[in-house]
Amino acid sequence: MSKRVILGGLAMLTASASVADAGFNQSRAEKFAKKNEEHIICYYLYGVSNQSNKQDIARGVITAMAYAKGMKKQEAIYALGYGSGKISAILEADPDHREDLIKEYSKDCK
């Protein structure tokens, strides 16, 4: 059930972000997500482990970094959704090793 909720939320984030503004730059947001993959992975893993306070802080930090790069709100939201979707797909592709992957990815999260 929680996987469906997370995936549904990500789908809503990316859908709303992609149509929200004519000046939205998808490739710029994806490039930002790739460069800040570690932070976005932590953001996603905080959500998976029900650490909403840490997830809120991570979202704020990532959004502030996006704004510092001159990105718009829609681009920052899309970058979060894009990066979270990537890690979600990696975890779903190998359900037998999901917990091991989460441990590996969460080593850098504080």
Q: Quick: pLDDT tens for 32-53.
A: 999 999 999 999 999 988 888 9
Q: Indicate the number of domains in the chain.
A: 1
pLDDT tens digits, 55-104: 999 999 999 999 999 999 999 999 999 999 999 998 888 888 888 888 88
Closest CA to 58 of 83, 86, 28, 25: 83
Range of the domain at 34: 2-106
* Residue that the structure tokens 């909720």 belong to: 5
